[in-house]
Amino acid sequence: MSTTTGLSSEITMESFLTLFTTQLQYQDPLDPQDNSEFLSQLAQFTALEQEQQQTEYLSDLSSIDTASLQLDQIGVASEFIGSTITYSDDTGEGEYTGVVEGVKLEEDGTVSFVIDGESVSISNFIKVENSGSATTEDTTPDTSAGVLDTDTDTTATDTTEDTTIAEL
């Protein structure tokens, strides 16, 4: 029966190299031991260590990807600050409107709007309400009768420029 009370069951690279150099130091130079098994173990240990490093790197990349996504969501959500939006409650049954006062990164990593001092998940966002402006601007150009009418106001006076579209 083997017991390892008080000893670690894991070997580190440093302890492995210490054991390896100690073995080489105390072997009989006239009758050297076959080190092929020991070198094989060293190669396996090195491969395992590289695999662990790759796992750590992938974990770091995943964290960077998550942080990048959060920054993107914060950037998009911050564009709504000052806007009136319609949103649902967490059950999806109720519909509410409110002015976005800010954006918040929650402890669980999700991004929320701050509306009336409360956090509202961006996943509950439905739409942006119309600003209620009485003026509307028609940006569709008038192309009737082959004439494209474009108004350009570069000074205090109104300058109208007519451009004729060639008839096909």
Q: Which domain holds residue 55?
A: 35-133
For residue 23, being part of any structural domain is answered with no
For residue 113, the domain's CATH number is 2.30.30
Q: Report DSSP letters for 22-45, one per residue.
A: HHHHHS-TTS----HHHHHHHHHH
Q: What is the pLDDT of residues 70-129, one digit of tens each?
A: 899 899 888 999 999 999 988 878 899 999 999 998 989 889 999 999 999 888 888 998
For residue 11, being part of any structural domain is answered with no
For residue 92, being part of any structural domain is answered with yes
Q: How confident is the model at residue 10 (pLDDT cuts 50, 70, 90)?
A: low
